[in-house]
Structure 1
């Protein structure tokens, strides 16, 4: 014979009774919750995009400092006036290559420093933030290149040769022959930020699996023999 079903225990005072056969909540409540989650997600994305724009502008402005350091640290290429024209004083000099190397090394240093600063600012990262860092570093490199040329020796070689006179020596204008040096800053920034995020970034917690039930259905008594 089957045992009679025992009624569930009464709930504690102040709590509603639990009905295992009650209907699920109306779709309107679930829809409202999904709408709130979507609104929160849109606001978070908008905030990240705004932070990325600010980051891009700030990193780009740092290009002025890079251009100034490039002018101060890059070697000079001396020119000498012979027959009214400007010629390299030392034809086998490697100063022109060193100018590109100085710009590239400065770009690598700026990339490491800006990536570290961005990681310390927002450890969580995110695609908008990374894109802002990359675009800002690229624009900053272009700004540093043009600002350094403007800040360095004049590019009017003919006029300067006439002013120096026959046998006079003056510095050649800055030139960036290897345009690939412009990618040193954004490349280093992306690499360093990726390494920092992989080593020290926040970890996503693994989902917890609920333990399997050990008893019968809640609210039902166990059968008696």
Structure 2
């Protein structure tokens, strides 16, 4: 999952001799809120759309961008998950990838990341999602896998999605026709099933009885 597997060269970065209007055209065309700037082949930093709008209103074509630059970037060894975190931290939808010699390798956008994650089996495969919680000291990914697989299910992915006090919340995606048994097995082993993203037999039965009750009351 190194970021270099996903980099793109579809969008050309800016140059420090470009005017604010030229840089804004690139931002607007590609729906970006930052653009990386270069002095020749050397990366000097990123500038935001907000700052470029302010500079464009001053009416100067030649601008010293130095005080406006923000130096966030990814390296060759960065991962896709680090890209997500860096985008969030810097409130940007684009990140340049720079090597140790400050040479530009490419970039990745928020749209690219969404597309990549959308094609991961954890997201794209048909299956059931279940959110469970358990105390942190009792959490075991192998135990979760065993519960699913011992009930003839197939694990598609797991993700720790949060912590509250001493409990850990785990989102599990799996395929199985044995949904009720899996839920009951989790509860038997001390897990609390928070949400099930499917309609199980109990829910369908309750829904059916509710509809019958409404029909009876309306007659």
Greater relative CO, 1 or 2 (CA 8 Å, sep 6+): 1
- Where is the strand percentage greater, Structure 1 or Structure 2? 2
Q: Which has the larger radius of gyration?
A: 1
Same fold (TM over 0.5): no
Could you say which TM-score interval applies, normalised by the shorter chain?
A: under 0.3
Structure that is richer in helix per residue: 1
TM-score when scaled to structure 1? 0.22
